[in-house]
Structure 1
């Protein structure tokens, strides 16, 4: 994620050398592990770097910082993630993808309701190439399709997919268009995970402020409603635990995971 927590920069290392009071360890102190089970996530910024060991769960970035590119270290990082120890309510391995709605400024924009040979049922009508609800929905659907089929993920329907929603990517000023885009992504990921392994599904990663800027107020009727939330923004494990009780990003959304950043590293806490 871009950088309030996950994506554009840091790793998720299982919690190292932090006290429950949230104090950072001295620079020369030997790392120690708390009894709390925490997870890590990694992506393209960690290419070529030594990854942590002993994480309870792992979340691997499929894209490389944009909605239309690939993490060049995806294969190696999935192998690393498979070594997660488990012990939380989260799947041992989950995935996340960058999201965006660039409109005509992007390298590709849909002009119909067809993608990759499939005629997509579009709740917003027919996409004719304009920057409108119908084409925004198709753009999101297409990016999710690509994430699942061309980036090197085997058995994509068996994973939980997190949508990384951050202001660092390209978005429309009209929040309704951005919601339609994300709904298209949710529609595709839901279609492949509904019959997948236990724990497969789709959720949303963001902060309340960034989500509000991008997606605005989500109607109860939206497919975004009720999706699990992964909340970023905490600075300590204690802070991450506390925001488990915060409202989710959409109506009826449970807060499933929270994230905190310490000493340039990202950590995740399972709320359930």
Structure 2
């Protein structure tokens, strides 16, 4: 008796889902199927390194790259401006020439800008570059998208337009450093958190026209709808939307 032919099983479609991970996911099993991944360089604060950066970078580069507009391996940096707590801050700058004038060590817009530049520089040179080289991965900042993680849980200045202007200057300093390394820069936040921390961004700011990665959704459907929200800065585009499932950050591309 002839054997019956068994219909071929259709292979599963490649996933288009991306994930973002950092130090909270150290020593956990990360998703095997992913189109792209965003890895946190810092360990919760801009002055600390993610202790699992090397392993997570390797994992990110093994993403499938199925989404044309999303590089398989991307990065994000923690951000903050602790200028109102100068007596508790050992990393606050005391000098530096900035677009806002000379930094003199005070809680000023100039020193806020310098603080941002130095925190981005330290994250790249002290944390990212050694981890990438140890993993034998591309260590050129220009080969990555760098997202600035702007959240109210970090230390920011509050209470006035001047405080928001200093916060804005910090993010401009970080952006300027990354651009000086020919990297691509974007902003991660929610509309509410951005308005509380940064407020309005002028068209002539270096932050204008940066891409937005929007957080706050709980489902894929909500994340896809969030893709139609306004970007965080003038002339920018919403290109990523994050949602949480099974206690892990998932991301969908908006392009």
Query: One fold, TM greater than 0.5?
Result: yes
- State yes or no: 1:261 paired with 2:244: yes
- State yes or no: 1:166 paired with 2:159: no
Query: Offset of 1:35 from its aligned partner?
Result: 6.4
| 170-179 or 262-271: bigger deviation | 262-271
Residue equivalent to 1:56: 35
- State yes or no: 1:180 paired with 2:180: no
- Asked if 1 retains the 8 angstrom alpha-carbon contact of 2:15 and 2:66, the reply is no
Q: How does 1:120-139 map to 2 (within 5 A)?
A: 122-139=98-115
Query: Offset of 1:50 from its aligned partner?
Result: 1.0
Aligned counterpart for 1:93 among listed residues 69, 73, 83: 73
Report the 3-state secondary structure (helix = DSSP H, G, I; strand = E; otherwise coil) of the residue aligned with 1:148: helix
Give the paired residue count.
227
Query: Offset of 1:231 from its aligned partner?
Result: 0.1
Residue equivalent to 1:144: 120
User: Which segments of 5 or more consecutive residues in structure 2 lack a partner in the other structure?
Assistant: 1-11, 130-138
Moved over 2 A (4+): 33-36
Residue equivalent to 1:65: 44
Cα deviation 1:236-270 (Å, max 9, x = unaligned): 11111111111000111100100001231210001
Cα deviation 1:1-54 (Å, max 9, x = unaligned): xxxxxxxxxxxxxxxxxxxxxxxxxxxxxxxx8865110111000111111111
C-alpha distance in 1 between matches for 2:154 and 2:125? 22
Residue equivalent to 1:5: none
C-alpha distance in 1 between matches for 2:28 and 2:66? 26
Query: Offset of 1:57 from its aligned partner?
Result: 0.2
Computing the radius of gyration from Cα coordinates, the structure with the larger value is 2
Report the 3-state secondary structure (helix = DSSP H, G, I; strand = E; otherwise coil) of the residue aligned with 1:247: coil
Residue equivalent to 1:19: none
C-alpha distance in 2 between matches for 1:34 and 1:165? 34
Q: Which has the higher contact order (CA 8 A, sep 6+)?
A: 1
C-alpha distance in 1 between matches for 2:32 and 2:205? 39
Residue equivalent to 2:7: none
TM-score w.r.t. structure 1 length? 0.81
Aligned counterpart for 2:197 among listed residues 214, 217, 233: 214
Query: Offset of 1:124 from its aligned partner?
Result: 0.1
- Asked if 1 retains the 8 angstrom alpha-carbon contact of 2:208 and 2:234, the reply is yes
Cα deviation 1:175-227 (Å, max 9, x = unaligned): 0000000000000001102xxxxxx4000000000000000111111111110
Aligned counterpart for 1:108 among listed residues 91, 102, 112: 91
C-alpha distance in 2 between matches for 1:34 and 1:66? 38
C-alpha distance in 2 between matches for 1:34 and 1:158? 28
User: Which segments of 5 or more consecutive residues in structure 1 lack a partner in the other structure?
Assistant: 1-32, 114-119, 194-199
C-alpha distance in 2 between matches for 1:108 and 1:94? 26
C-alpha distance in 1 between matches for 2:82 and 2:37? 29
Residue equivalent to 1:12: none
